[in-house]
Amino acid sequence: MKRTNLPPQKEASKRRIAGHAQQDHILDPYQRRQKLEDGTLCPQCGAAYRHGRWQWAARAKTDHEELCPACRRINDKFPAGILALKGAFARDHREELIHLARHQEEAEKTEHPLNRIMSIEEGPSEILIKTTDIHLPRRIGEAITRAFHGALEESFEEDGYFLRVTWRRES
């Protein structure tokens, strides 16, 4: 186990995200600070807040509805992560890359309903995949790198909750 020079209580308050340590005070601004009532439903996507987290569950009658953080991000068009696919290979194989990205999203979303692709924007020189969380861009980027090789770079915003991942392959 790697040790740091921080006292134990400070060492435990760090989390590893995208290869960078993130202090606990840097949290997702879309996450509520207090717990919701158990059984709260998101009216947009149907996710339920149960046992302290959002999860997919059978829709039950409830008096409590509130948009989940992922739906709020989608409505605000404010991604937590962006994956940029660049290079001639991305341009020539865009359908395969998008299919792989959607496959990774489905695998992640089954267990974590807040981890979703918000949009996929195609430009002449790159494909941008915007997500509702900071973990999905890295997962998609790593899957693309395993399948197609190329170079993967990650940049975590130190003062906020945002991850930019860039994958590049020229030929």
Evaluate whether residue 139 is within a structural domain. yes
Question: Whole-angstrom Cα distance, residue 23 to residue 20?
Answer: 10
Residue ranges in the chain modelled with pLDDT below 70: 1-26
Sequential DSSP letters for the chain: ----SS-HHHHHTEEEETTEEEETTS--TTS-SSPPPTTEE-TTT--EEETTEEE-------S-B---HHHHHHHHT--SEEEEEESHHHHHTHHHHHHHHHHHHHHHHHH-TT--EEEEEE-SSEEEEEESSSSHHHHHHHHHHHHH--EEEEEE-TTSS-EEEEEE---
Question: Both 82 and 155 in a single domain?
Answer: yes
Question: Both 161 and 91 in a single domain?
Answer: yes
The residue range of the domain holding 64 is: 8-68
Evaluate whether residue 1 is within a structural domain. no
Question: Whole-angstrom Cα distance, residue 37 to residue 51?
Answer: 9
Question: Both 55 and 133 in a single domain?
Answer: no
- Residue 163 near residue 16 (C-beta atoms within 8 A): no
Question: Both 109 and 132 in a single domain?
Answer: yes
pLDDT tens digits, 72-111: 999 999 999 999 999 999 999 999 999 999 999 999 999 9
Which residues, in sequence order, are bridge partners of residue 119? 130
- For residue 66 the two structure tokens come to 């509130």
* Domains contained in the chain, number: 2
Question: Both 113 and 142 in a single domain?
Answer: yes
Question: Both 62 and 82 in a single domain?
Answer: no
Evaluate whether residue 40 is within a structural domain. yes
Evaluate whether residue 45 is within a structural domain. yes
